[in-house]
Structure 1
Amino acid sequence: MLTHPTLDKLESLRLRGMVQALKQQWQQPEINELSFEQRLGLLVDRETDLRQTRQMQARLRKAKLRQNAVIEDIDFKHPRGLDRSQVLQLATCQWIKQKQNLLITGPTGVGKSYLACALSHTACREGFSVLYLRVARLFADLALARGDGRYIKLLATFAKTDLLILDDYGLAPFTREQRYDFLEILEDRHGLRSTLVTSQLPLEHWHEHIGDPTTADAILDRLVHNAHTLKLKGGSMRKKTPLTEQHDSK
């Protein structure tokens, strides 16, 4: 007689993992061989697993990653200068815990965005908040935010995100306003959060690309000096991939 009221109370407390586990226990006669503490432990484990899964899914939705990429699917055989041990070390997320940055450079199609998304997916699994942005879209969003009053709020969102991915840096010259925006974002994050940047532009040309020498010094001081680097090379991986899979270069 206590069965349904108990389920109702668990549902009202939003303990849906425990509800699922309890229903399963009722269908298993051998469960009576376990002690009360053991059965309760199984219920708590199911609730914990369900909540962690939902939190992970929520972090992935907020991250808005460009590709559904995971470390386990990275192609280390393709000749592009990718060091397996370095990537696996980065996959521990220790660099994020230490508030360091990661810069991935290389020619188009070599898998920079895939690597960034795979490492970001791992960060989500480890409980870090993540946000993916293409640099061109970032500046467009900031320009709109200036006009509708969201600018400060948008900068605050970037500042509190554990890992910010800025994809496709260096495709177009910076305007004066964009240099200011980029510096503001990095200033808010310097020593506090991690930033991952991908670019076709070799790192040694970033200073020139920014334009203004003083601003370039300030930006690179906050971005490069505490950064890990992955310098990829070689031809496009899309050339060996069917057309329907080209967007998923690994």
Structure 2
Amino acid sequence: MLNHTTVHQLHSLKLAGMAEALAQQLDQPHAFALAFEERLALLIDREISHRDTRRLTRLLQLAKLRTPATIEDIHYRPGPGLKREVLSTLATGQWIKRRHNLTITGPTGCGKTYIACALGHQACRQGLSTRYFRLTRLLEDIRIAHGDGRYARLMKTLANTELLILDDFGIHKLSAAQRNDLMEVIEERHEKKSTLVASQLPVEHWHDVIGEATLADAILDRLLHRAHRITMTGDSMRKRQADLTDRDRKD
């Protein structure tokens, strides 16, 4: 009875991991052969693991990554483009802790979004707050926020997010209002947080897409300052997958 009361008290103290581990120990007689310190260590380990899992789940829910990608599932192809050693370095997360930026460019379907989401997932694993947006969607959210009273709160969230992923950068030329909003986001994050930008366009074409030389210069100066760059090449991953599927059907 006392043990069950202890389990209940652990739950009331929000120590669910320890409560679960203690309940399992009570159902496993061989656990009582362990010394008190060993049993306590097991309870603490379970609580730490439980909290880490909850934190990762919460961070991933907030990140809203477009693809459930992980670093371990990335396939490296021979030739120029994505290098294993480069991604291994980025996977440590030191570039985020040092407030560096990252650009990923390459043709449609080459895997930019997958790599971006894999790095976002890795950041969440490391306990770093992450948000994923397609740039057009983010700018639309900001436009709406101007009118419904959420603007200050949204901008604060964006400013405090440790890794902000902006995907599909440069699909459409920006309007004057969109340029201003993007400038505000980038300015608030400059040298304070990290931004990852994925685009079909080479970096040298971003100036034209942003438009208005003065703001374009300001935005790109802040985005590309201390930025790591990945330039992906080769055929579309979607096309290769379709070719493999067709080949399997023929076989």
Q: TM-score, length-normalised on structure 1? A: 0.94
Measured after TM superposition, the shift of residue 78 of structure 1 is 5.9
In structure 2, distance between residues paired with 1:78 and 1:131 = 31
Q: 1-side partners of 2:192 and 2:106: how far apart?
A: 27
2-structure distance, mates of 1:117, 1:80: 21
CA distance in 2 between partners of 1:214 and 1:38 (Å): 64
Shift in Å at residue 80 of structure 1?
5.6
Deviations 1:125-154 (A, max 9, x none): 000000000011011111111111211211
How far residue 59 of structure 1 moved from its aligned partner, in angstroms, is 0.2
Deviation at 1:174, TM superposition (A): 0.8
Match of 2:147 in 1: 147
Indicate the residue corresponding to 2:120 in structure 1. 120
**1:99-131 deviation line (CA, Å, top 9, x unaligned):** 000000001000000000000000000000000
Structure 1 gaps, min length 5: 246-250
Partner of 1:34 in structure 2?
A: 34
- Structure 1 equivalent of residue 199 of structure 2: 199
Match of 2:172 in 1: 172
Unpaired segments ≥5 residues, structure 2: 246-251
Letter matched to residue 189 of structure 2: R
Opposite residue 138 of structure 1, the aligned amino acid is L
What CA deviation, in whole Å up to 9, does each residue of 1:13-59 have, x standing for no partner? 12111111112212322222321111111111101100110010000
CA contact (8 A) 1:110 1:235 kept: yes
1:139 corresponds to which letter in structure 2? Answer: L
Q: CA RMSD in A?
A: 1.4
The C-alpha deviation readout for 1:63-117, integer Å capped at 9, x for no partner, is 0000000001111026561111001100000000000000000010000000000
1:33 and 1:6 map into 2 onto residues whose CA distance is: 20
Amino acid at match of 2:94: Q
For the Cα contact (< 8 Å) 1:106–1:233, is it kept in 2? yes
Contact 1:135 1:169 (C-alpha < 8 Å) held by counterparts? yes
Aligned to 1:248: none
Structure 2-normalised TM-score? 0.94
Q: How many residues align?
A: 244
Task: Establish whether residue 66 from structure 1 lines up as the match of residue 97 from structure 2.
Answer: no
Counterpart amino acid of residue 52 in structure 1: D
